[in-house]
Amino acid sequence: RNGIQTAVRGVVNYAGMSVDKYGYCYMMRFSAPGFDPVDSSPFEVSIGPPTSLSVSTQPGSFRPGYTFGVLPVVSIVDRGGNVVALDALNDRIQVSLMQHNTTAAATLFGTVQIRAVRGVASWTDLMIKLKGDGYSLSFNRVAGGMQDIESNKFNLVPGEAQALRVSTAPNGGSPGNFLTSQPKVEVADAGGNFVDAGVHLVTANLYRDGLLSQIPIIGPQCLDFDCIGQCGLTPCADPRTACPTCVAAPNATTGSSASRVFTSAGIATFTQLAVEFAGEGYTVRFTSS
């Protein structure tokens, strides 16, 4: 940095001057009004001993259930911020997840402890599944001797619909009568977070011992259904209202049938489902295209 000092008896003594970045052929130039400037001899500034950690690349581009789009990079640096190219086998950096606003316990997936190669630790597979606000990553040097450092805070919002999960399982009942417990199915993203956006058609098929059953699953009937807005013989402005649950005609080969329900706020609620014949090993498989 530049320094201005007053000459005392023709002599200027500088103190506390420093150069933060290492390099070669540095020179200092001294000037004063009425005099020609004069340069010092060239000198070198070397990298100092390691003193701290620095987040070289902040994590970013987050999607629950997917590897971070931008993965963090942490460097071991000296007082001037220069990377200290250490290759000691015990120079390992560990990352942990911090939750500032989210109460549910989230997990940081991936390789959390890696070696700093020539003073730089670059992660390749970090992921968080649970949505939340106010996450950050904390980094510490396993060998100690340096203060932990924290990344910028970030949020994770639910991603696009990727999966179904049964929130209320079908159960009970007698042949030809409504199931005691009617199923509900939720839409989730790749991280398992509930997704309430969009409208999805969920299909329920009856299986027995892992195979598609020839026994139909019974529910409210629609004479015709094409997912576009036709329900029975009357066009529907909103098929979710006019025909919330539809059962397709039995398959000509298997004799099975399927019940279909549109989601509302991310939930497909099946009603009046029944199985015509008694039996064991029944399951209901839910799909959405």
Is 90 exceeded by the pLDDT of residue 69?
Answer: yes
Residue 219: band (very low, low, confident or very high) from pLDDT cuts 50, 70, 90: low
What pLDDT, on the 0 to 100 scale, is given for residue 261? 82
Residues 122, 184 within the same domain: no
Residue 122: band (very low, low, confident or very high) from pLDDT cuts 50, 70, 90: very high
Residues 167, 282 within the same domain: yes
Least Cα distance to 262 among 240, 230, 237 occurs for 240
Q: Evaluate whether 46 touches 85 at the Cβ level (below 8 Å).
A: no
Average pLDDT over residues 132-148: 93
Among 156, 181, 199, residue at a domain's last position = 156
Among 140, 156, 172, residue at a domain's last position = 156
What pLDDT, on the 0 to 100 scale, is given for residue 108? 96
The 10 Å Cβ neighbour count of residue 118 is 12
Is 90 exceeded by the pLDDT of residue 10?
Answer: no
43 lies in some domain: no
Contact residues for 15 (Cβ-Cβ < 8 A; gap 6+): none
| Whole-number average pLDDT of the chain | 82
Q: Evaluate whether 86 touches 121 at the Cβ level (below 8 Å).
A: no
Is 70 exceeded by the pLDDT of residue 43?
Answer: yes
The 10 Å Cβ neighbour count of residue 147 is 9
Q: Evaluate whether 259 touches 245 at the Cβ level (below 8 Å).
A: yes
Q: Per mean pLDDT, which range of 140-154, 212-226, 255-269 is the poorest?
A: 212-226
Q: By residue range, what is the domain housing residue 125?
A: 52-156
210 lies in some domain: yes
pTM over 0.85: no
Is 80 exceeded by the pLDDT of residue 245?
Answer: no
94 lies in some domain: yes
For the chain, the domain total comes to: 2
Residues 204, 87 within the same domain: no
Residues 274, 171 within the same domain: yes
